[in-house]
Amino acid sequence: MTIREIRERTLRARHLMQRSRRQRFAVGAFNIDNQETLIAVARAAAKLDAPVLVEVSQGEVDAIGLDNVRDMVDNYRAEYGVEMYINLDHSPSVEAAKKGIDAGFEFIHIDISQADHGASEAEIIAGTQEVVEYAKFTGALVESEPHYFAGSSTLHDEKINYAEIKETFSTPEGAKSFVTATGIDTFAASIGNLHGKYAVPKKLDLQLLAEIRKAICVNISLHGGSGTPLHYFTEAAQIGVSKININSDMRVAFRQALEKVLVENPHEYAVVKLMPPVYGAVQKVVEEKIKAFGSAGKAVL
């Protein structure tokens, strides 16, 4: 894309975030591992007339490539006629974040603590400030948080230690200070959400979320949405969350559907013929989240 086209897309992305705040809905940010997952997200968005973010973290970038992700999303965006943008999720360094900006990604999440869990707040602020300044060229929206975000995008057998997690909860004062220091567009709040899918449902502190919403004027995102009872999402959107990340729920649906179809078709080696049930399983998860987020029917093309 040309710089002009990139800037037009990022401006539309900013308008989407403004609409989400004004109309009280959240936009789903769905991680993709492959083309099949992307197709499922695009089909769900088309069916429900919902705006969506497709996101890739560093592992997915390494496997697919930044430019390939940009091209694939643009192709399916046009094919299905959907409002769809790209988020670079948990970019572990300033350099990696800049590459996402150069590739025309509309949303950039810079996560200094992802690569260095012990990074100081001063280091995180300095790196985030650099990305915010660099992103001004294209208008990309920058997201960040002042500390390491717990969990991982997989299945966890252990129970959730809320006493430990609460030590890293966001505070209204801390959120305001970080937003002021960095100039970010989106603050990633920690209110009981954590990455991965656990044996027990997650519990979100919505009162704390409401206090954070009052303290800052930028967008708020929730990471680690998988394994969370849907009513939390609906309430969070009403409070003023604009973006909710989903990954593990989709991965579980993908793998379980694939395992089932492989067992049922032991003599089929044309993999493409095995994929429709897998698309469907992942699409079902995406549709469920979109409805809970309140973003169905909110696309503007």
Q: Which residues touch 3 (CB under 8 Å, ≥6 apart)?
A: 137, 138
**Residue 258 to residue 276: CA distance in whole angstroms:** 10
In one letter, which amino acid is 73? V
CA distances from 163 to 50, 159, 168 (A): 37, 12, 10
**Residue 143 to residue 37: CA distance in whole angstroms:** 24
**Residue 232 to residue 222: CA distance in whole angstroms:** 11
157 is catalytic: no
Residue with tokens 């029917």: 297
| Centroid of chain to Cα 73 | 15
DSSP 8-state code for residue 56: E
SS3 of 106, please?
coil
- b/e map 180-211, b = 16+ CB within 10 Å: ebbbbbbbbbbbbbbbbbbeeebebbbebbbb
In one letter, which amino acid is 123? E
Which of 49, 62, 89, 157 is labelled catalytic?
89
**Residue 112 to residue 93: CA distance in whole angstroms:** 6
In one letter, which amino acid is 32? I
**Residue 241 to residue 220: CA distance in whole angstroms:** 5
CA distances from 241 to 8, 40, 53, 206 (A): 24, 24, 15, 11
Active site residues: 89
